A and B are shown apart, each in its own frame.
Chain A
Amino acid sequence: MASAFDYAPAPESRSVVDIAPSYGLFIDGEFTEAAEGKVFKTVSPSTEEVLSEVAQAGAEDVDRAVKAARRAFEKWSALPGSERAKYLFRIARIIQERSRELAVLETLDNGKPIKETRDADLPLVAAHFFYYAGWADKLDHAGYGANPRPLGVAGQIIPWNFPLLMLAWKIAPALATGNTVVLKPAETTPLSALFFADICRQAGLPKGVVNILTGYGDAGSALVEHPDVNKVAFTGSTAVGKAIARQIAGTDKKATLELGGKGANIVFDDAPVDQAVEGIVTGIFFNQGQVCCAGSRLLVQESVHDEVLHALKRRLSTLRLGDPLDKNTDIGAINSAEQLARISALVETGEAEGAERWSAPCELPSSGYWFAPTLFTGVTQAHTVARDEIFGPVLSVLTFRTPDEAVAKANNSQYGLSAGIWTEKGSRILAVANKLRAGVIWANTFNKFDPTSPFGGYKESGFGREGGRHGLEAYLDV
């Protein structure tokens, strides 16, 4: 595409990361093969190049890992909090030191732009460990009574959209409170968790405190089911979240579930259009829209619909899609062929149901998994693209006339994770925020995260909070 914005390629060097041809499971401080000897390949979604081959955990490996975590629990939970804190501070510092390497690794394995892994994922990962490190010796003052006790072994299952960040959200509070963990990364993004295992070794973390099992859903299910797991933490789809809730019914297992969303981003007629457009773009095209809290439903006040849409399309036409390692890239690859197929199918459904599709004019690379930034106009609440989570770079545009209508439409969803409000009027922000049934609300901003800020959903977006003082509760026997 010839435009005024032609840039020379500016790729970040891959040489900062050394990916081994194969990796084992990380159990009891050692890398080990899977009991059944199975392995699977992980590919770069932007090129389909095989990056490495990793061990595929089965039920026997889950049992081994849980036993290792159980053995480690007694000593780890008995350590003074100040000592646990120092391990976590070490981990935070090593992540900062190795952040360039980890950013490149994450971009290779996930397909998201280096701009995002470098400027969002990795800084937040380090910050999360640093934040919870400080809690480890202050739990008596956290508002859960004196000497709150850890739960035991935490089984943690994380998704592929923010692999290392989700690992941090899970492991940092678990370790700070004195639990030990068995963590399963997603099958399409196993590498950063395995690099994290190496960071645990560099930090001198006692064996068995952190165990990493790469594998598929069957390994995750075995982990949830394991009788010696006391806590389940899951981030992923609502369907799997419900299955987990059923699995642990009648047990003492404590759970936090961070699931899907269909966030409404509400733009009122007095909003500064340029800022709102940037917020809409951040809301749905950050990480190719593969974000549970994405602002995937744009609710725009009827009187400014045309103006906002015009500005939005103009802005989307300038987004640069391509090599995720290129520092100028705005839109990277979709994480997997499977996810691309899911996005494509939902977009087809949107067209078939009569919504009007517009995609940004951009050339898609010939190999890898790609989807151009897309929006639907003329969308009603009954349309599939207004109801189902697409988890891709696809925005559905609806209109409203009054604040009441905006709130009613925003809340008309099985989900309740995030929402956005764009207006210059302070009282309207507060009134609307008050009525929205969502766990995180961004007013005149979007997709901001911080370790001190509790994150989690209402309704079928799950329960429990991650981050902040609130995030401790999930890992304490309170």
Chain B
Amino acid sequence: MSDGRLSVFKTYKLYVGGKFPRSESGRVYEVSDSKGRWLANAPQSSRKDARDAVVAARKAFGGWSGATAYNRGQILYRVAEMLEGRREQFVREVADAEGLSKSKAAAVVDAAVDRWVWYAGWTDKIGQVVGGANPVAGPFFNLSTPEPTGVVAVLAPQKSSFLGLVSVIAPVIATGNTAVVIASADAPLPALSLGEVLATSDLPGGVVNILSGKTAEIAAPLASHQDVNGIDLTGADAELAKELEIAAADNLKRVSRPSVSHHHPEKEAHSATRPQAVDGDDWSADPGTRRLTAFLETKTVWHPTGALGASGSSY
């Protein structure tokens, strides 16, 4: 704008089934930066948008969970490559969204790129780390392997609009799940732009679906949806998290509860009731494997080994 040229604004849109629809409700809401300046109008997703996203995620599940782990790893790495190329855009969006200086925002974006690389490498390793042969007391081959849970609803963190977002999406899809993601309500723009990156990273449509709007309004139909298999409550406050966990019990969704900010191993002395906390996670810390294993099922297959002959063989 400084050179007198009128810039071209971007219409921020949802990312569902590999396409970029507006909300079917036609609603938008105003998104401002940390100083209250208008940034854009974001789509305000409805329950119908949430249900459409579940349909897209379910449709994508067979192909994505059936892809080789190597293939999924390459695609996650491709996301990192695409992101690196659009680094400047995301630095600007994150700086606006989170009120960070340009250098701090750049560090956040770099960390987000690196997180994609971290999880890209996990796709073909987690199976050996958490699965394996079990030495049963009998003539059986017995093997446990991890498999993705299915369609997972992800409430992205409210504060960390990009690094936090990437940190909750990547582990869910790395293992073969598909995701319906609710972006940070106040800072949805980095998430909506991430959709554009995913669309150009060979990620099949529907594997990640991104919705913006009021978290509770979108999360409620997802938590009670009978075709959603898991829900990550990271972006929910204590009250909403409890409501959603109750709704999720109807079809026994796997629930990943929000982290509390102060984690004491000696908490046994205290009550089991959760203190108030949102975004208790330190997104810059080593993510470990917790988020990878939160939405994995263990399948154990038995088969008789048989015997070669009565006398046995010593080679």
Tell whether A pairs with B.
yes
Query: Which B199-257 residues have a C-beta within 8 angstroms of A?
Result: 229, 238, 241-242, 245-246, 248-252, 254, 257
Contact-residue bracket for chain B? 35 or more
Asked whether, in the complex, the Cβ of B144 is within 8 Å of the Cβ of A454, the reply is yes
Q: Taking the complex as formed, is B265 at the interface, i.e. its CB lies under 8 A from any CB of chain A?
A: yes
The CA-CA distance from A453 to B130 in the complex, in Å, is 13
Q: Taking the complex as formed, is B8 at the interface, i.e. its CB lies under 8 A from any CB of chain A?
A: no
Asked whether, in the complex, the Cβ of B299 is within 8 Å of the Cβ of A439, the reply is yes
The CA-CA distance from A406 to B102 in the complex, in Å, is 57
Asked whether, in the complex, the Cβ of B298 is within 8 Å of the Cβ of A249, the reply is no
Q: Which partner residue on chain B sits nearest A257 by CB separation? A: B252
Binds B, one of A85-93, A163-171, A193-201, A444-452: A444-452
Query: Which A408-433 residues have a C-beta within 8 angstroms of B?
Result: 414, 429, 433
Interface 0/1 of A237-255, CB less than 8 Å to B: 0100111011001111100
Asked whether, in the complex, the Cβ of B252 is within 8 Å of the Cβ of A251, the reply is no
- Chain B residues with Cβ under 8 A from A324's Cβ? none
The CA-CA distance from A436 to B251 in the complex, in Å, is 19
Q: Taking the complex as formed, is A455 at the interface, i.e. its CB lies under 8 A from any CB of chain B?
A: yes
Q: Which partner residue on chain A sits nearest B144 by CB separation? A: A454
Interface size counted on chain A using CB atoms at 8 A:
52
Q: Taking the complex as formed, is B301 at the interface, i.e. its CB lies under 8 A from any CB of chain A?
A: yes
Asked whether, in the complex, the Cβ of B297 is within 8 Å of the Cβ of A230, the reply is no
Query: Which B128-183 residues have a C-beta within 8 angstroms of A?
Result: 129-130, 134-138, 140, 142, 144, 149
Of B134, B248, B298, which one neighbours A452 at CB under 8 angstroms? B134
The CA-CA distance from A477 to B267 in the complex, in Å, is 10
Q: Taking the complex as formed, is A31 at the interface, i.e. its CB lies under 8 A from any CB of chain B?
A: no
Binds A, one of B51-59, B69-77, B82-90, B269-277: B269-277
Asked whether, in the complex, the Cβ of B273 is within 8 Å of the Cβ of A433, the reply is no
From known contacts A245-B252, A253-B272, A459-B229, infer whether A470 and B298 are also in contact, taking CB-CB under 8 Å. Answer: yes
Binds B, one of A308-316, A367-375, A460-468: A460-468
Asked whether, in the complex, the Cβ of A462 is within 8 Å of the Cβ of B252, the reply is yes
Asked whether, in the complex, the Cβ of A242 is within 8 Å of the Cβ of B268, the reply is no
From known contacts A227-B271, A251-B274, A252-B273, infer whether A448 and B252 are also in contact, taking CB-CB under 8 Å. Answer: no
Q: Taking the complex as formed, is B4 at the interface, i.e. its CB lies under 8 A from any CB of chain A?
A: no
Asked whether, in the complex, the Cβ of B273 is within 8 Å of the Cβ of A227, the reply is yes
Asked whether, in the complex, the Cβ of A441 is within 8 Å of the Cβ of B271, the reply is no
Asked whether, in the complex, the Cβ of A439 is within 8 Å of the Cβ of B298, the reply is yes
The CA-CA distance from A444 to B303 in the complex, in Å, is 6
From known contacts A450-B142, A454-B134, infer whether A230 and B303 are also in contact, taking CB-CB under 8 Å. Answer: no
Q: Taking the complex as formed, is B312 at the interface, i.e. its CB lies under 8 A from any CB of chain A?
A: no
Q: Taking the complex as formed, is B304 at the interface, i.e. its CB lies under 8 A from any CB of chain A?
A: yes
The CA-CA distance from A257 to B255 in the complex, in Å, is 13
> In whole Å, how far is A239's beta carbon from the nearest beta carbon of chain B?
11
Q: Which partner residue on chain B sits nearest A150 by CB separation? A: B268
- Chain A residues with Cβ under 8 A from B229's Cβ? 459
Asked whether, in the complex, the Cβ of A443 is within 8 Å of the Cβ of B302, the reply is yes
- Chain A residues with Cβ under 8 A from B249's Cβ? 242-243, 245-246, 249
The CA-CA distance from A455 to B302 in the complex, in Å, is 12
Asked whether, in the complex, the Cβ of B298 is within 8 Å of the Cβ of A433, the reply is no
Asked whether, in the complex, the Cβ of B246 is within 8 Å of the Cβ of A438, the reply is no
The CA-CA distance from A433 to B248 in the complex, in Å, is 28
Asked whether, in the complex, the Cβ of B300 is within 8 Å of the Cβ of A452, the reply is no
Q: Taking the complex as formed, is A442 at the interface, i.e. its CB lies under 8 A from any CB of chain B?
A: yes
Asked whether, in the complex, the Cβ of A250 is within 8 Å of the Cβ of B135, the reply is no
Asked whether, in the complex, the Cβ of B298 is within 8 Å of the Cβ of A465, the reply is yes
| Most B C-beta atoms less than 10 A away, residue of A127, A152, A458 | A458
Chain A positions within 8 Å of B, measured between CB atoms, are 73, 127, 143, 149, 151-152, 227-230, 238, 241-243, 245-246, 249-253, 257, 259, 414, 429, 433, 436, 438-445, 448, 450, 452-456, 458-460, 462-463, 465, 468, 470, 477-478
**Across chains A and B, which 10 residue pairs bring their CB atoms closest together, nearest first?**
A250-B242, A249-B245, A245-B249, A450-B136, A152-B268, A443-B303, A452-B134, A249-B246, A246-B249, A441-B301
A-B contact pairs, 8 of them (CB 8 A): A257-B252, A429-B303, A433-B299, A442-B301, A444-B303, A444-B304, A445-B303, A454-B298
